[in-house]
Amino acid sequence: MSASSPRTAYLRGLRTALPFVIVVAPFGLLFGVVGTEAGLNIAQVMGFTVLVIAGASQFTALQLMADNAPTLIVVASALAVNLRMAMYSASLAPHLGSAPIWQRALIAYMNVDQTYALGHADYEARPDQSTAEKVAFFFGTATPIIPVWVGATALGIMVGEAIPPALGLDFAVPITFIALIAPALRTLAHVAAALTSVVMAITLAFLPWNLWLLAAGLAAMIVGAEVERRMEARR
């Protein structure tokens, strides 16, 4: 391989990620709109978007804040939504573990659903790449995704200040969650986890401080994992 191959990998990452800008932008835009309508100021909305970069957990925090849940419950519940990213981190570690620490820190910061999925798929498809090429590919995917996410949120703040609150935008949050869940219901185990989650949310609704959310999430994870284990045992 020539010395220019990290450059090639960077450009390949950039090209691969470009179409996904269309997926990322609407969520960023929506967070800007809904965050502004909920009463956050510009710095706070942008703070979420720049520091967290995880739409589902940001919407979770926003929804719990609309219910005036205690701050620690807001943080714990929104973090619980992001726990799946520990799995992303673990699955990238064999590929990127030997990169310098600052590169790994930067990759961790930008390790969102899209960059992770594209990076992991590329490393599996081209296993003989050097670590430098793999790092370059990841930075390539992040180059369009992260700025578009941040820019779309900023645009959403402007839109949110312009539109009247009577448009039923409170319902955009549950619709967004449904839109994120539906394509993820790929297996019986995923469906079982989702159903458990719904049933637990209804039966535990009496719990204070939105604790039903964490309880339902935990129960659903256990059910999903157990169904998966049994399905595999049967094979």
Task: Work out whether the CA dihedral 59, 62, 66, 70 comes out positive or negative.
Answer: positive
- Scan residues 167-196 and list those touching other proteins (CB under 8 A): 167-168, 170-185, 189-190, 193-196
- Scan residues 193-222 and list those touching other proteins (CB under 8 A): 193-198, 200-202, 205, 212-213, 216-222
Q: What does the alpha-carbon distance between residue 169 and residue 163 come to, in Å, rounded to a whole number?
A: 10
Q: Which of 18, 21, 42, 75 binds other proteins (CB under 8 A)?
A: 75
Q: Which is nearer to other proteins, 125 or 202 (CB)?
A: 202
36 binds other proteins (CB under 8 A): no
- Scan residues 11-30 and list those touching other proteins (CB under 8 A): 22-23, 26, 30
Question: CB under 8 A: which stretch of 6-14, 83-91, 128-136, 142-150 binds other proteins?
Answer: 83-91
Question: CB under 8 A: which stretch of 11-19, 57-65, 117-125, 146-154 binds other proteins?
Answer: 57-65
Q: Which of 34, 92, 146, 152 binds other proteins (CB under 8 A)?
A: 92
Q: What does the alpha-carbon distance between residue 20 and residue 45 come to, in Å, rounded to a whole number?
A: 23
Please count the residues of this chain forming the interface with other proteins, following the rule CB under 8 A: 96
Q: What does the alpha-carbon distance between residue 120 and residue 114 come to, in Å, rounded to a whole number?
A: 10
71 binds other proteins (CB under 8 A): yes
Q: Which is nearer to other proteins, 7 or 229 (CB)?
A: 229
Question: CB under 8 A: which stretch of 34-42, 124-132, 143-151, 154-162 binds other proteins?
Answer: 34-42
Residues 6+ apart with CB under 8 A from 36: 42, 45, 156, 157, 160, 161
Question: 30: number of CA atoms within 13 Å, CB side?
Answer: 20
Q: Are 33 and 161 in contact (CB under 8 A)?
A: no
∠ CA 58-60-64 to the nearest 5 degrees? 120
Q: What does the alpha-carbon distance between residue 27 and residue 199 come to, in Å, rounded to a whole number?
A: 27
Q: Are 104 and 135 in contact (CB under 8 A)?
A: no
Q: Which is nearer to other proteins, 143 or 196 (CB)?
A: 196
